[in-house]
Amino acid sequence: MPVDPMQPGPSAEELFARALAVTPGGVHSPVRALAAVGGRPFFTRRAQGAFLEDSDGRRLLDFCMAFGPLVLGHAHPQVAAAASSALADGWSYGTAEPYSLELAEFIAARLPWAESIRFVNSGTEAVMSALRLARGITGRERLLKFEGCYHGHADAMLIRAGSGLAGSGVADSAGVPAAVAADTVVAPLDDVAALEDCFARHGPRLAAAIIEPLPANHGLLPQRPEFLQRLRELCSCHGSLLIFDEVISGFRVGFGGMAAATGIRPDLVTWGKIIGGGFPVGAFAGPRELMARLAPLGRVYQAGTLSANPLAMRAGLATLQLLESGDIHRQLEALGARLEARVHALGLHFARVGSLFWLPGGQARPGVLRSAAQGDAGLGTRYALLFRRLLDAGIYLPPSPMEIGFLSAAHTAADIDHLGDALAAADAERD
């Protein structure tokens, strides 16, 4: 039976027991199991603004925001209105439709490196398709990725990845063929000498280098512009395509993402999350001459029954229209600065870029962490304790020490102060 959000329902314990009987681990994405923080999943039945409400009736201040897409908060009225209108017009056509055209035109008119856009259903699918396109264009097979960067669960990318794999300490997934893994070259972040050596050895065979220009799946690891610029130069020199994976950072660090923030133009860019307003979506984009190698114009095949779903297209356009002026990004920056000041006053480790933040627990460390190798062996235990204490206080942080937090336009200064107070209380209790 459908869940009535206004009536008491089964408890989280009851729901989890039922889920275990029909779903691997009781969840549909591993991090939702809360195993990395020593807990069990709770079941959200509704969300509004900056808050979740779970099946036990708890109201939780949400700093996970569905892992990033809800830059405006839960159930924003304008996005909800766009989705409701789309529902009234039918929610899947299997034909060309005007709504993806409107969204593509809106983006392409504002981002010069995205002349041509293909919509898909997830960030993983966007990355998978962009990599295939790069191989089709160059005629090469090898790919370069960076240690600690997560690009979805396509086979070739599940090698020294971040996200849930980072949290569990598992470098590779079972089921990835050795031959596939052999064509993926891995380099460390923030190491120009290693990068140059990698291209010296593999450059003529590299179809593409893919990177999160703001790595955000192994903690938050801001990269020096010089490192990203050198990667751009080496790709150009060796005829390899540079792919920016902006599934997380796209439209969140600013309307133009990290490509605009750094002034470095990728050959291809992948998006997800915000671009669909919180509905399932992905996209990849680039210059017309590269994207023209895709079917039906070219020989690189890509297709999807639900690609450019009209609900996601209309919700995404409503979201991006609200973001275009930059007012919301300035609001988020102010909230982020307020949170940063509170956390620094407590002497806790903290990293932030705009509305993305990483709060792993533990005392502040000197310098900026820029690579997975700089991680802390005691991070998991400390963060698990912090997560549970804040959850008891009605605050939901990302349920993994390697996942980052997100601010939204629905958060207020009072919400930031509430988080700061809860952190202070948790830190005092630890002492």
Do residues 12 and 41 make contact, with C-beta atoms less than 8 angstroms apart? yes
Kindly tell me the burial class for residue 326, based on how many C-beta atoms sit within 10 Å of its own C-beta (0-12, 13-18, 19 or more): exposed
Strand-pair partners of 22: none
Do residues 137 and 290 make contact, with C-beta atoms less than 8 angstroms apart? yes
What tokens were used for 354? 């705009």
Q: Cβ of 188: how many Cβ atoms within 10 Å?
A: 17
273 is catalytic: yes
CA–CA separation, 146 and 160 (whole Å): 8
427 is catalytic: no
Q: What DSSP letter does each residue of 259-318 carry, written as one string?
A: HHHH-PPPSEEEEEGGGGTTSS-EEEEE-HHHHTTBTTTSSB----TTTT-HHHHHHHHH
CA–CA separation, 266 and 286 (whole Å): 8
Instruction: Give backbone dihedrals phi and psi of 403, rounded to 5 degrees, phi first.
Output: -85, 150
Residue in this structure with the two tokens 């966007």, named with its chain if needed: 126
Read off the amino acid at residue 209.
A
* Angle, CA of 209, 212 and 215, to the nearest 5°: 135
Q: Is the dihedral of CA 127, 131, 132, 134 positive or negative?
A: positive
Read off the amino acid at residue 45.
R
Kindly tell me the burial class for residue 99, based on how many C-beta atoms sit within 10 Å of its own C-beta (0-12, 13-18, 19 or more): buried
> Nearest CA to 213 among 190, 193, 196, 192?
190
CA–CA separation, 228 and 236 (whole Å): 13
421 is catalytic: no
CA–CA separation, 391 and 397 (whole Å): 8
Which one is catalytic: 54, 62, 190, 245?
Answer: 245
Which one is catalytic: 62, 145, 150, 415?
Answer: 150
Which one is catalytic: 54, 62, 273, 383?
Answer: 273
Do residues 229 and 236 make contact, with C-beta atoms less than 8 angstroms apart? no
Coil, helix or strand at residue 17: helix
Give catalytic residues, as residue numbers: 150, 245, 273
